[in-house]
């Protein structure tokens, strides 16, 4: 039986934040993409990858435009939507 760390989970997330996350070499987007649309990716991630992505989202959402500036408004909104998509998976991210 596979343990929770090895199991993969599919999640549909907005492109903006995930592409930024990948540009910073925090995720190999090609390796985890199941499907891509104009505005979203369906990714297959391990629990560890999900937690890392959610932690990065949390950093931007908590800082908000006060810390990062108004030019980050779109990225922060995408981070918030990405976090919500991950949180829908429930116990996986706790």
DSSP letter string, 11-47: EEEEHHHHHHHHHTTS--HHHHEEEE-SSEEEEEEEH
And the tokens for 68?
């990062």
pLDDT tens-place string over residues 5-26:
688 999 999 999 999 999 999 9
Does this model's pTM top 0.95?
no
And the tokens for 4?
């929770």
Average pLDDT of the residues in 74-88: 96
Q: Alpha-carbon distance 84 to 1, whole Å?
A: 29
């Amino acid at each position: 039986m596979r343990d929770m760390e090895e199991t993969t989970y599919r999640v549909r997330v907005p492109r903006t934040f995930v592409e930024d996350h990948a540009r910073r070499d925090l995720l190999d987007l090609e390796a985890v993409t199941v499907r891509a649309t104009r505005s979203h990716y369906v990714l297959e991630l391990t629990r560890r990858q999900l937690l890392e992505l959610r932690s990065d989202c949390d950093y931007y959402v908590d800082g908000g435009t006060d810390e990062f500036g108004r030019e980050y408004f779109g990225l922060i909104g995408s981070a918030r939507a990405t976090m919500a998509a991950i949180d829908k998976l429930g116990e996986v991210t706790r």
